[in-house]
Structure 1
Amino acid sequence: MRAHDRIIPLHPRRAHVTGALPPPPEGSFASDNAAGVAPQVMAALAEANHGPALAYGDDPWTAAATAALRAQLDAPAEVLLCWGGTGANVVGLATVVQPWQSVICVDSAHIVVDECGAPARFTGASITAVPNVDGKLRPEALDPYLHWLGTEHHPQPGVVSISQVTEMGTVYTVPEIGALCDAAHGHGLVVHLDGARIANALVACGTDLATMVRDTGVDVMTFGLTKNGAMYGEAVVYLRPELAASARYVRKQAGQLPSKARFVAAQITALLADDLWLDHARHANRLAGLLADRAGAVEGVDIARAPEANAVFAHLPAAAIAPLQEWSFFWPWDLERSQVRWMTSFASTEADVERFAAGVSAHLDAVPPA
């Protein structure tokens, strides 16, 4: 059962915790969305607040942000700013899919589980979810649906969508993305990448955006900002500019055109300057490894796999989960298997990790043996 599949009680029954219980960490391991705004981003927002600017992206900040993203890709990409991640995914998908087509993705994808059906509603297309393999979509998983092409009784596969990092915390390698793009393009399908945590994936793979996205053949992506230290806003990036012919109309109709676009754009330039976005991701990934090591050393904690990016998945004694959530909230992931998820961010600290691991130890000491 996924994080948002079950309502967490407001006052869970507490286990009696013996011994000294440390105060909860100042930071949150619930999500990288729980972190605040990076100081450099806040300063950029304040700087952009001086004087007037034309609305809807006709401003120097938007031009600078577009140029910065194009430089990262070394490609003449089309860039559209949006309010948020779900909206950006909707705009990207609705631009490249028709209502009689389908979007193929894994069953754990954000567009399936965590966007309240928005992609299906706004595109009118079917979302075809296939079983994931460690959160990933494999090229062979497309085969049963590619046979539908040309048959009027079936929704026509039109888009392959993947998440980078995946919802299971795994990272597609550059060759894996390339293989998927080759399989999709070989049958005329467009490849969409939900890059909410693209920076974490890049540093995990030791590569750059052009290599991971442009060179593999990704056609359109959501470029994540919020989880990397922005206040709000994401960008839709079209690696094939011709796909963006109707994108501005789709964005407006979907309610994703920011009027004061300079404030989204200023955050992009601040994060990309001097590779701050990659430094943030590198820090978050490193802290996830530290958290896995420290918490994994506690008796009764089973770390599902070594973190590949900034997500730690752990199995805990069922009786310890609710008291731990009350002490320092985090999301359960699969309660049927007593699995939880802990996320680190650019704002996580080593002190937070040590304090959290100590709290996990204290709570598990209070859980009677099964």
Structure 2
Amino acid sequence: MSTNAQHNFAFASDNYSGVHPAIMDALISANNGHDKAYVYDSHSQALAEHIKQTFGEQAVGYPVFNGTGANVLGLSAILPRFGAVICTNHAHINNDESIAPQYVAGIKLLVIDSDDGKLDPQKIRHFIRPSEHHPQARAVYISQTTELGTCYSLDELANIRQACDEFGLYLYIDGARLSNAAAHLGCRLVDIAQFADVLSLGGTKNGMMMGECLVFLNPKLDKDILHLRKSSMQLASKMRFISAQFVAWFKQELWLSLAKHSNDMASYLYSQIKDLDGVVITQKVQSNAVFAILPPDVVTKLHDDFHFYDWNDETGEIRLMMSFDTTKEQVDELVEKIKAYL
């Protein structure tokens, strides 16, 4: 990536964005005076109520520092020591979390190839091998939305859930961009969560400064998480600063308006470049990401103007990410450069 781009905005990642003003105000408010440590503060108690209101009375939320911590901790809580996790070759736990699943939790990953980031439930049976000589699949991991920006429909989620039930597997949903999925599908968060045993609720990529929340939907899996969160170094002593962000994020469905905006910006970018000669859109635009192949010389020039990631060096595929604060004018500037360089 070139370091020449001088803009104060980027298309590299929704992690590049700042903090939404309402969430910053919540942080400032939480900083007023003293409150109890760990999760016994008033903000964490309020978050617990929001989790139940959003996901049902059986749901329990556990705020954590980050997405990798959420995934490793959540999977640790549902796997026996000999358990393995089925995921796609594009899964975040397979490509983007170093060796944290293996090193921290000793998790074996059983990988299914996918062209669009989605897991095909028909392929799950290939990993059901009861012999003690083979890793024992005990959970399925999916991302909603996927790492390629695609979104499972509710019917697709139901099919995966059915396969999990058939083979006695738990379903873990990585919801780093769960808000974007709900915005795309026009559904509630619980409509997606109903299929999961455990999910991570992502806030960092959608307006928050930091923090995710593990949500346990299957009460049978909830007995050890308090101890595991501590031993996994995901228990913040000043947890109120994570919880207060989520409380503001839930109020008046801020999460939805932010996610819808970033999705809309991706759809707008797609509409402006999809018919240009020399541009190939490689994935369905169903969230806040646009994946495309452009001529190599165009990509080189664009790197001098904007921050974004090369996704596949062999094909020339790039990823352009929109954030909650991306503006139409910023997208127009990108489009103008693409047209000029083509």
TM category (shorter chain) comes to: over 0.9
Question: Counterpart of 2:58?
Answer: 76
Q: How does 1:197-236 map to 2 (within 5 A)?
A: 197-214=177-194, 216=195, 218-236=196-214
Q: How does 1:1-370 map to 2 (within 5 A)?
A: 8=1, 26-146=8-128, 148-149=129-130, 151-214=131-194, 216=195, 218-364=196-342
Q: CA deviation at 1:54?
A: 1.2
Deviation digits for residues 136-192 of structure 1, max 9, x if unmatched? Answer: 00111101111x03x111111111000000011100111111111111122221110
- Which sections of structure 1, spanning at least 5 residues, go unmatched? 1-7, 12-22, 365-370
Query: Is the CA contact (8 Å cut-off) linking 1:82 and 1:256 kept in structure 2?
Result: yes
Query: Is the CA contact (8 Å cut-off) linking 1:24 and 1:359 kept in structure 2?
Result: no
Query: Is the CA contact (8 Å cut-off) linking 1:98 and 1:123 kept in structure 2?
Result: no
Query: Is the CA contact (8 Å cut-off) linking 1:73 and 1:209 kept in structure 2?
Result: yes
Structure 1 segments of 4+ aligned residues over 6 angstroms from their partners: none
Q: Under a length normalisation based on structure 2, what TM-score does the superposition of the two structures give?
A: 0.96
Deviation digits for residues 199-256 of structure 1, max 9, x if unmatched? Answer: 0000111111111112x3x100010000010000101110012212111111111111
Between the aligned partners of 1:325 and 1:155, the Cα distance in structure 2 is: 43
% of aligned pairs identical?
36
For these two proteins, the number of residue pairs brought into alignment is 342
Query: Is the CA contact (8 Å cut-off) linking 2:150 and 2:287 kept in structure 1?
Result: yes
Between the aligned partners of 2:219 and 2:39, the Cα distance in structure 1 is: 18
Q: CA deviation at 1:10?
A: 5.8
Q: CA deviation at 1:298?
A: 3.9
Query: Is the CA contact (8 Å cut-off) linking 1:105 and 1:127 kept in structure 2?
Result: yes
The alignment yields a C-alpha RMSD, in angstroms, of: 1.5
Partner amino acid, structure 2, of 1:183: A
Between the aligned partners of 1:35 and 1:340, the Cα distance in structure 2 is: 19
Partner amino acid, structure 1, of 2:222: A
Between the aligned partners of 2:223 and 2:8, the Cα distance in structure 1 is: 46
Between the aligned partners of 2:271 and 2:155, the Cα distance in structure 1 is: 29
Query: Is the CA contact (8 Å cut-off) linking 1:221 and 1:237 kept in structure 2?
Result: yes
Between the aligned partners of 1:139 and 1:298, the Cα distance in structure 2 is: 36
SS of 1:337's equivalent in the other structure is coil
SS of 2:73's equivalent in the other structure is helix
Q: CA deviation at 1:75?
A: 3.0
SS of 2:90's equivalent in the other structure is coil
Q: Under a length normalisation based on structure 1, what TM-score does the superposition of the two structures give?
A: 0.89
Between the aligned partners of 1:197 and 1:97, the Cα distance in structure 2 is: 24
Between the aligned partners of 1:74 and 1:98, the Cα distance in structure 2 is: 27
Query: Is the CA contact (8 Å cut-off) linking 1:161 and 1:194 kept in structure 2?
Result: yes
Structure having the higher Rg: 1
- Which sections of structure 2, spanning at least 5 residues, go unmatched? none
Between the aligned partners of 1:113 and 1:120, the Cα distance in structure 2 is: 12
Q: CA deviation at 1:9?
A: 6.5
Between the aligned partners of 1:74 and 1:99, the Cα distance in structure 2 is: 30
Deviation digits for residues 26-69 of structure 1, max 9, x if unmatched? Answer: 42111111110000000000011111011111111001011102
* Cα 1:257/1:85, change in 2 over 3 Å: same
Between the aligned partners of 2:62 and 2:166, the Cα distance in structure 1 is: 27
